Amino acid sequence: MRLRLILVCLVLSSSLTLAQNWKQVHKKDEEKWAKTTGLDPNTIHKMWRSASSIPNENDDDSRIADLDLEGLADRHDVLLVTYAGEKNCLTITVFRQFSESKFEKISSLQPPPESGGFCDTDDASAKAYAENGAIMVRVPHSTPQGADFALYRYEWNGITYRLAGKKDLREGDSRPD
């Protein structure tokens, strides 16, 4: 009985420590992106939470991969790219900026069914970026020679960002990281 009690206490304390570590990781991410973008860390925190599908932020292992204020600026849109999970799968969220600190989520990009998600492989990483008002998502696919990529283009259709095209690339043809 005493051993069981000790084990329960150890499990509880380790899970609390892990949750506390995620809180610190997220805080450092928010501070880093605040310095990069000039946005307030609290604003970045709200955006990150809005993009997340995990109800409890202490359980959320997602990290910010990119926060682009320029690539979609013609429409006052901001691209937030987060990654999570064992294969670093991307979540791509677009916010409309109404003021220095007010952002509203307007779109979450959905991967095409054949893509298997916007995830890394053992050979290469997935990447999303904004370019000329469109969102580009480069997704690797493992091959015997290494990795090939599918480059998905999402464009504004007046309501949301929708898949507008796909281009297959060889490793040397992909946009540099």
Looking at residue 39, its pLDDT comes to: 94
d(CA 147, CA 159): 34
Give this prediction's pTM: 0.82
Instruction: Quote the pLDDT of residue 107.
Output: 94
**Number of structural domains the chain divides into:** 1
Residue in 87, 134, 85 with CA at minimum distance from that of residue 109: 134
3 state DSSP class of 43:
helix
- The helix (H) or strand (E) run that includes residue 166 is strand 161-169
Q: 133 is in which domain, residue-wise?
A: 2-173
Segments in the chain below pLDDT 70: 1-20, 171-177
Q: How far apart are CA 111 and CA 127, in angstroms?
A: 13
The pLDDT value recorded for residue 146 is 74
Beta bridge partners of 131: 134
